[in-house]
Amino acid sequence: MHEHHIPAFVADVIAIGCNIWAVGDDMYIFGDSDLPVENFERIAPELDRIQRQYGPRDHLKLAIIAYLRSTGRHSTVDELVAQVHSHLRHDHKPTT
């Protein structure tokens, strides 16, 4: 993958219904782990296709993070932890 492919790579990931965002200044994640199983099963082959299409991107990690931040697709670790805890509390409400 080359740096000029980053916008298309991000757009392709988003187009299949998978979130991608920068976390802090040195990490980015795909939001596929929070999908329902049936959606993940649908998206997994598409993610594999995108991985093959664009190739290795580890050398572009900081450029991908900078691009995601420039488009407003960023969060902090604390914000993500709070979001996960919120989902866990919502999903595990006690039944009466």
How many Å apart are CA 73 and CA 22, to the nearest integer? 6
pTM for this prediction: 0.79
Nearest to 68 by CA among 12, 18, 7: 7
Structure token digits, residue 95: 């039944």
- Tell me the helices (H) and strands (E) count for the chain, helix number first: 4, 3
Contact 30, 17 (CB under 8 A): no
Domain residue limits, the chain: 3-91
SS3 at position 29? strand
Instruction: Give the pLDDT of the chain (96 residues) as one tens digit per residue.
Output: 999 999 999 999 999 888 899 998 899 988 665 667 777 788 889 989 999 999 999 999 999 999 999 999 998 888 877 776 676 665 555 554
- The residue whose two tokens read 């959606």 is 39
